[in-house]
């Protein structure tokens, strides 16, 4: 296997709330190679965003990364000082957020919001920063970029704002791009455009991408590998084809059967997984998915599955495959 650009080992991020310790990320492992794309899927609340923010070093109290390693080209980001992290954020790792309506500063011009990152990391003059900003706006497909660059966010639509966010994220040519549900807040037609754009730019810039989504359809379109998360842990990991065609974990089966199929008849109903995700502040003993699992065995409620590599590229955390 090639040297990974980003490798995350046994990452744990907890929130120390008054109600107790919320284990939002509870032992996440993955690796990402140059130009590769990893999909992270799971229901809302499964710890996808917190994983991403942990990698960015943006976890705030009462949250804390309690253990693990985040290796960017072999260097552990968790050991870096704040100053060192500031040099890496936005430069080597960039992030696009879910809601473009609130993610841009309402009182700063769009051009400035792109240019400031360039000025900071490239150490260029402000004017040069704005030139790069203009170039980026054109690259992300914003029409009349010369005019738009001087506009404020509220003068643009959601889709346009998400393009601006992408421009900001890619302006310093990062090695890793984390896109946290970049299309969830957008109209369906715009969603497809934004996905196409990300896919195109990812090739162009050779950026390794982590695509967070709760939509396996998006993963199928954009990603090479998939990590399925449940209750702060990866429960299945493999390449897209394997996960979509030969999934092993009961939770993945559930996710897949709740996916609308292109060739299915109109009347075929979605079958969402029964029950609710567990309370991360009060996890059940044994497997976190057991209470909802249609295939559970007595052992599932006693003992946490350790997880197993079925073959070199396919990881599953389930008692069906243990021993």
Partner 1 sequence: MIITLFFIVLIAFVINFVVPGNPARTIAGPKASPEVIKAIEEKYDLNKPVYVQFEHYFVNLLHGDLGISYRTNETVNSELRTAFPKTMYLGFSVFFLNVLIGVPTGIYAAIKRSKFMDHVILISSLVGTSAPTFWIGYILLFIVGYKLSLLPIGGYGGISHVILPALTVSLASAAGYVRVVRTSMLEVLGTDYVRTAEAKGLSQSTVILKHAFRSSVIPLITYAGMDLGTLMGGLIVTEGIFGWPGIGQMAVTAINYQDMPTIMGVVLVAAVAVVIANFVVDIIYALVDPRISY
Ligand X SMILES: Nc1ncnc2c1ncn2[C@@H]1O[C@H](COP(=O)(O)OP(=O)(O)O)[C@@H](O)[C@H]1O
Toward partner 1, which CB reaches closer, 105 or 246?
105
Distance CA 65, CA 288 (A): 21
Per this entry, what is the length of the chain?
323
Q: With 0-12 CB in 10 A as exposed, 13-18 as middle and 19+ as buried, what is 262?
A: exposed
Nearest to partner 1 of 117, 208 (CB atom): 117
Residue 151 phi/psi, 5-degree rounding, is -85, 165
- Residues 312 and 271: their CA atoms lie apart, in Å, by 31
Asked whether position 43 contacts partner 1 by CB under 8 A, the answer is no
Whose structure tokens read 């900071």? 120
Place of tokens 């870096």: 80
Applying CB under 5 A, does 207 fall inside the site for Mg ion? Answer: no
Minimal distance, residue 233 CB to ligand X, in Å = 12
Q: Which of 48, 89, 148, 249 binds ligand X (CB under 6 A)?
A: 48
Closest separation in Å from C-beta 196 to ligand X: 23
Residue 78 binds what, of Mg ion, ligand X, partner 1, none (CB under 5 to 8 Å, by partner type)? none
Task: By CB under 6 A, tell whether 42 contacts ligand X.
Answer: yes
The sheet that has 233-239: what strands, in order across it?
A: 93-96, 176-180, 208-213, 37-41, 225-230, 233-239, 314-316, 308-311
Which region among 41-49, 145-153, 188-196, 259-267 touches Mg ion (by CB under 5 A)? 41-49
Does 207 sit near partner 1 (CB under 8 A)?
Answer: no
User: Is 91 a residue that touches partner 1 (CB under 8 A)?
Assistant: yes
What does 151-184 look like in DSSP terms, one character per residue?
S-GGGS-HHHHHHHHHHHHHTT--SEEEEESTTT
* Window of 46-54, 133-141, 184-192, 312-320 that interacts with ligand X by CB under 6 A: 46-54
Residues that bind partner 1 in the complex, under the rule CB under 8 A? 56, 58, 82, 85-91, 94-95, 97, 99, 102-108, 113, 116-117, 120-121, 152, 154, 165, 168
Residues that bind ligand X in the complex, under the rule CB under 6 A? 15, 17, 22, 24, 42, 44-50, 63, 280
């Amino acid at each position: 296997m090639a040297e990974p650009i980003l490798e995350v080992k046994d990452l744990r991020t907890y929130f120390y709330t008054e109600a107790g310790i919320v284990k939002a990320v509870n032992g996440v492992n993955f690796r990402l190679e140059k130009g590769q794309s990893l999909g992270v899927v799971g229901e809302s609340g499964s710890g996808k965003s917190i994983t991403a923010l942990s990698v960015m070093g943006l976890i705030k109290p009462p949250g804390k990364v309690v253990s693990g390693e985040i290796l960017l080209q072999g260097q552990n980001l968790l050991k870096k000082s704040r100053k060192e992290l500031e040099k890496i954020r936005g430069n080597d790792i960039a992030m696009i957020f879910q809601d473009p309506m609130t993610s841009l500063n309402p009182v700063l011009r769009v051009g400035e919001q792109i240019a400031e990152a360039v000025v900071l990391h490239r150490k260029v003059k402000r004017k040069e920063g704005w030139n790069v900003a203009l170039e980026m706006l054109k690259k992300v497909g914003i029409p009349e970029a010369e005019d738009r660059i001087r506009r404020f966010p509220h003068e643009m639509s959601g889709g346009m704002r998400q393009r601006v966010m992408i421009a900001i994220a890619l302006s310093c040519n990062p090695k890793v791009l984390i896109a946290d549900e970049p299309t969830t807040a957008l109209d369906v037609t715009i969603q497809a455009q934004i996905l196409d754009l990300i896919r195109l730019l990812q090739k162009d810039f050779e950026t390794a991408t982590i695509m967070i989504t709760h939509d396996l359809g998006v993963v199928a379109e954009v990603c090479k590998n998939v990590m399925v998360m449940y209750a702060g842990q990866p429960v299945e990991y493999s390449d897209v084809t394997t996960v979509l065609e030969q999934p092993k974990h009961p939770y993945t089966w559930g996710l897949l059967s709740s996916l609308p199929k292109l060739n299915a008849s109109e009347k075929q109903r979605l079958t969402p997984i029964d029950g609710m995700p567990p309370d991360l502040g009060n996890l059940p003993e044994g497997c976190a998915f057991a209470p909802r699992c249609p295939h559970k065995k007595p052992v599932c409620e006693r003992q946490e599955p350790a997880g197993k590599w079925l073959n070199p590229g396919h990881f599953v955390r389930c008692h069906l495959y243990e021993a």
